[in-house]
A and B are shown apart, each in its own frame.
Chain A
Amino acid sequence: MPNSKPVHWIAAALLLTFSLVSGACAHSNTATQNPPAPPQVQVLQYALTAATSNQALGAAVHLACRPAPPAVATITDQHLCSELADGVRAAAAGIEQIRAEAASGDAWSVMKPKIAAIVSAIALNYAVPGGNDQLVSQISALTATLANIKGVQ
């Protein structure tokens, strides 16, 4: 059987190839899962998203209550405008507290309950009149981001 020798070589090469492929599979399955960021960094990343959402909320409140002429205010209730503006201010103060806590250098086990308490204290419950979809959307976005901060483990 003089022709069988090359076949054996090819078979051996293919076996080697398959073993390399399976080895690569095993390596890539373990190596591609990067560990998450430290929790303090995650909190700050969410805090930045929350602060940006709050900035957009402030702009939406301003647009609804104090639009540049000739645009007309969609919220004419000045008390509600003040409540909404206070909500933006309070959220900014809360996010500032979260930022300060996350940057304090305390252990995560110490700062986690403090951050959760700060988030819980931020209330964004408003009866916004219809026709203010942008405003409602911004409130929802901010609320969702704040919930993410609370969920960091």
Chain B
Amino acid sequence: MAAAAVLPFISLGVQAANLLIPEVVALYNAIKGLHTAYPQMTQAQLSQLVSELSSQVAAADAAAVAAVADIPPVSGGAVAAAAPASNTPAVAPAAAWAMAMQPQHG
């Protein structure tokens, strides 16, 4: 009699355990993810990330231009457009990025 009364609860317990395990895993992953999310990065780390991305973009840009270096431009001003339009260095000063990473409103 008592065993019959307990049996549904055991079944529920098994189901609860099945639910609980993935939730614990998800919770662990969430905490791990939060640790690496951008707002948790320091401004120095963000500046470093920006510098690395910036350098990679500049390198890929140079490679793209080099790939077509032996094909002459259309006569006119087309090549002038290819010249760097800014004197901003490839690696932005960390101080500038520290300012840009401040919370913005609007």
Do B65 and A92 have beta carbons less than 8 Å apart? yes
In the complex, which range does the number of interface residues on chain B fall in? 35 or more
Q: How far is the CB of B20 from chain A (nearest CB, A)?
A: 5
A101 to B92, CA, bound (A): 10
A109 at the interface (CB under 8 A from B): yes
Task: Determine the distance from Cα of A105 to Cα of B90 in the docked complex, in whole angstroms.
Answer: 13
Structural contact, B30 and A31, CB atoms closer than 8 A = yes
- Cross-chain contact A106 with B100 (CB below 8 angstroms): yes
- Given A25, A37, A102, which contacts B38 in the complex, CB threshold below 8 Å? A37
Q: Which residues of A contact B95 (CB under 8 A)?
A: 105
Bound CA–CA A44/B50 (angstroms): 7
**Which of B46, B57, B73: most chain A CB closer than 10 A?**
B57
**In the complex with contacts A14-B9, A28-B23, A82-B73, A51-B34 CB distance below 8 A:** no
| Binary contact readout A77-113 vs B (1 if CB under 8 angstroms, 0 otherwise) | 0010111111011111101110111111111110000
CB–CB A34/B37 < 8 A: yes
Given contact pairs A28-B23, A95-B61, A65 touches B71 in the complex (Cβ within 8 A): yes
Is there an interface contact between A99 and B58, defined as CB atoms closer than 8 Å?
Answer: yes
Main secondary structure of the interface of B (DSSP, over half): helix
Cβ contact within 8 Å between A105 and B99 = yes
Asked whether B79 lies within 8 Å of A89 as measured between CB atoms, the reply is: yes
Chain A: residues with Cβ within 8 Å of the partner, total of 66
Whether the Cβ atoms of B61 and A54 lie closer than 8 Å is yes
Spell out B's residues near A (CB within 8 Å): 1-2, 5-6, 9-10, 12-13, 16-17, 19-20, 23-24, 26-27, 29-31, 33-34, 37-39, 46, 49-50, 53-54, 56-58, 60-68, 70-74, 78-79, 81-86, 88, 90-93, 95-97, 99-101, 104, 106
